[in-house]
Structure 1
């Protein structure tokens, strides 16, 4: 668990400070990252595994792949995608990008199924995208709420004026 926290922090720090220009404030990036992680893990464990829509083999290597996918890659991808969607204009373009995110999430689950990391039942595959779509909705909701709170507290985007 400590390894996951260290790797997550490293990736978040690189994404937030070093790699590219960001459209989101650091607090917004953290809100999206933590919301996606907090929503993804219960959906994965309770709804998909406990309802036996996904069966998990007993293999440490496959468990590491599942953990990295669920706790690191999905939050990183959705944080990056919500940052990139801030530059999009137009309702149709944003809806197309949301649809592309759903397709990529489904492709990730299907790839894990084909590699044998998880065994997905037909019901689990049909319910995979609706349950995973809750992650994107939660990420966008947390982004809007944290942006509202930042504006209410006087934190805004752009350069800080010097007096």
Structure 2
């Protein structure tokens, strides 16, 4: 399911689906979990749209499994802003309600650390939680100097084997 390092093509891209594509930096991806296991990507996107101003810009949501989704922010910097907001004490509005109901978020680096540390649970959400508890998870990787890009496809589900 995971490789020692993200699977790269000759151009440094990661393939995650088929059909219509857009390239996006992995730095613009956020993993979300802690939502109802019966929630669809469309429902989650609608909930997020009104929850904070960061979601007033263009973004997309894809399910990874029943416990986890990936949000892509098309505008640079919004993923960092969202991660700062969701982890702050100043969170408000419907986003605060989602967080109080268990919504959690992590950056792509956390996913890479799951791969590097071999932390695989039944659901990706459990793996993300476990990775965030690891002291090694706080280490910065070299992605800041060499950011990867992914091809974002119009499919509604992402295949982790391709990350």
TM-score higher than 0.5: no
> More helix by proportion, 1 or 2?
1
Normalised TM-score (structure 2): 0.28
Higher relative contact order (CA 8 A, sep 6+): 2
> More strand by proportion, 1 or 2?
2
